[in-house]
Chains A and B, each alone.
Chain A
């Protein structure tokens, strides 16, 4: 078994294998709305490689982090905007 990491997504404990991106972790745990668009529509990842900014959310208090480009770390706190 690969080593796992534990993080918090919207206050809930999420455990994923090390090397999982934050975006993949959120999708894997059944949420697909990462943010609200400027007119309030639900949005989730599109490009998966850091260019579209649709998967942006708040990681450890930092807003607008691109969750597809950041690996999950132990103790990380993630807030979606959906």
Chain B
């Protein structure tokens, strides 16, 4: 771990592309910059396990940039609390870090949206990004039969990645209708970089069926996955497979922003033109401000990093690019909007909350997230609603009402330290 100063001028939470860009931009001013991240190395999910061997010119460039400036990285540390102004607590494998800052940049990324369907809790039914992350972390998939399903551009990238690593990708099931995708493809042509990516993906995916208006209705097997049943129009059929990689696009990670009291709008962190949240000295960049992908994350990260260190001119130079990227983000939202039929995927006995094994039928007896939590313990297990919360939001329109520390399950010693830090924070304020 790099030396930690008493107080960072800028602390960045998240070492994905937005966090890397923010840290680089901030550090270029000479400010002391720290980055805290839950993963073992920088890169987030898109560049997971790539720090030693970046796979694209863009990744090469950003790893070069972050090593060209002084940044203190704290890896394998999950932020669990904000005990006092200017302090975050992060739990590590063998302890706890108290991180002090003047400016904070949230680059907490996104997670996959999972929708419950019969059999989705069987081992080997995973997220699309989930299976990809495991392969990036050393899981061999050569010769494994994989069905990629759900929604979003991630499905294509995952399928291409798995195929490259020797998996037999049986098919890609995309819930969005082809009419919307065709329109999206046309819009892509307006962005040459994106169009090239798509053409490359299409070439890499040669021979893999890409079925639109198609989704999984059941996963089956004895103890582990053996096959998936898919539906497309009136047709229903089964495909034998070793893995299902299934995710329904992405949802922003806004928990830390909410804990800090930042305003949230339509599920995203609200930011101004400098990427500043409703809280002074707290900035936000990348997916938490709205799902927009790599380019938008890099641009927003840089703007946040420059703005947080009074390099307004450099920040301003990127505003036009951000606007174009945001247009693309809005097209993403429209293209991959979830269809109503997916609301009836889960059967009454299908588990929705995987931590507490709460089936759909029990949730239906309630009229809000809060009532469901109290009555069924839905969302009260270790994931704290990160999985079932985005499902129940889609299924019932429930929105989680409050975020409380610790943001992740934490050891007792960490909670004790949070308490101590809160008290000393109070003392400081009183003085």
Is A52's CB under 8 angstroms from B387's CB? yes
| Chain B residues, Cβ within 8 Å of A25 | 138
Tell me, in angstroms, the Cα distance from A41 to B125 when the chains sit together.
14
Is A38's CB under 8 angstroms from B357's CB? yes
Tell me, in angstroms, the Cα distance from A58 to B100 when the chains sit together.
32
Nearest CB of A to B88, in Å: 17
Is A41's CB under 8 angstroms from B121's CB? yes
Q: Which B residues between 9 and 41 are near A, CB-CB below 8 angstroms?
A: 38-40
Is B137's CB under 8 angstroms from A42's CB? no
| Chain A residues, Cβ within 8 Å of B253 | 51
Is B354's CB under 8 angstroms from A37's CB? yes
| Chain B residues, Cβ within 8 Å of A38 | 355-357, 381
| Chain B residues, Cβ within 8 Å of A46 | 114, 125-127, 130, 354, 387
| Chain A residues, Cβ within 8 Å of B383 | 51-53
Is A32's CB under 8 angstroms from B123's CB? yes
| Chain B residues, Cβ within 8 Å of A56 | 382
Give the size of the chain B interface in residues (CB under 8 angstroms): 44
Q: Which B residues between 312 and 359 are near A, CB-CB below 8 angstroms?
A: 351, 354-357
Chain A proximity mask over B386-407: 1 for CB below 8 Å, otherwise 0: 1100000000000000000000
Nearest CB of B to A9, in Å: 14
Nearest CB of A to B391, in Å: 12
Is A32's CB under 8 angstroms from B224's CB? yes
Q: Which residue of A lies closest to B38 (CB)?
A: A50
Nearest CB of A to B241, in Å: 13
Chain B proximity mask over A31-68: 1 for CB below 8 Å, otherwise 0: 01110011101111111111111101000000010001
Is B123's CB under 8 angstroms from A51's CB? no
Is A64's CB under 8 angstroms from B45's CB? no
Option from A24, A33, A54 in Cβ contact (under 8 Å) with B139: A24
Is B134's CB under 8 angstroms from A68's CB? yes
B interface SS class: loop
Tell me, in angstroms, the Cα distance from A53 to B253 when the chains sit together.
16
Is A39's CB under 8 angstroms from B357's CB? yes
Q: Which residue of A20, A47, A50, A70 has the most chain B CB atoms within 10 A of its CB atom?
A: A47
| Chain A residues, Cβ within 8 Å of B357 | 37-39, 41
Is A27's CB under 8 angstroms from B130's CB? no
Is the C-beta of A75 less than 8 angstroms from some C-beta in chain B?
no
Q: Which residue of A lies closest to B225 (CB)?
A: A32
Is A53's CB under 8 angstroms from B409's CB? yes
| Chain A residues, Cβ within 8 Å of B297 | none
Tell me, in angstroms, the Cα distance from A15 to B194 when the chains sit together.
40
Is the C-beta of A16 less than 8 angstroms from some C-beta in chain B?
yes
| Chain B residues, Cβ within 8 Å of A54 | 354
Is B130's CB under 8 angstroms from A48's CB? yes
Nearest CB of A to B120, in Å: 9
Is the C-beta of B132 less than 8 angstroms from some C-beta in chain A?
yes
Q: Which residue of A lies closest to B381 (CB)?
A: A53
| Chain B residues, Cβ within 8 Å of A53 | 355, 381-383, 409
Is A47's CB under 8 angstroms from B49's CB? no
Q: Which residue of B lies closest to A54 (CB)?
A: B354
Q: Which residue of A lies closest to B127 (CB)?
A: A47
Is A48's CB under 8 angstroms from B138's CB? no
Q: Which residue of B lies closest to A60 (CB)?
A: B93
Nearest CB of A to B186, in Å: 32
Q: Which B residues between 131 and 184 are near A, CB-CB below 8 angstroms?
A: 131-135, 137-140
| Chain A residues, Cβ within 8 Å of B131 | 48
Option from B39, B140, B386 in Cβ contact (under 8 Å) with A28: B140
Q: Which B residues between 23 and 75 are near A, CB-CB below 8 angstroms?
A: 38-40, 45, 48-49
Q: Which residue of B lies closest to A27 (CB)?
A: B139
Q: Which residue of A17, A21, A64 has the most chain B CB atoms within 10 A of its CB atom?
A: A21
Q: Which B residues between 377 and 431 are near A, CB-CB below 8 angstroms?
A: 381-383, 386-387, 409
> Please, could you name 23 A-B residue pairs with CB atoms under 8 Å apart, sorted by A?
A16-B138, A23-B137, A24-B134, A27-B139, A32-B123, A32-B124, A37-B121, A37-B357, A42-B224, A46-B127, A47-B112, A47-B114, A47-B129, A48-B127, A48-B137, A50-B39, A51-B383, A52-B354, A53-B381, A53-B382, A64-B409, A69-B38, A71-B40
Report the 6 A-B pairs with minimum CB-CB distance, sorted nearest first: A20-B138, A48-B133, A44-B123, A21-B137, A48-B130, A53-B382
Instruction: Supply 10 further A-B pairs (C-beta < 8 A) apart from A20-B138, A48-B127.
Output: A20-B137, A28-B140, A32-B224, A41-B121, A42-B223, A46-B130, A47-B129, A49-B111, A51-B383, A52-B354
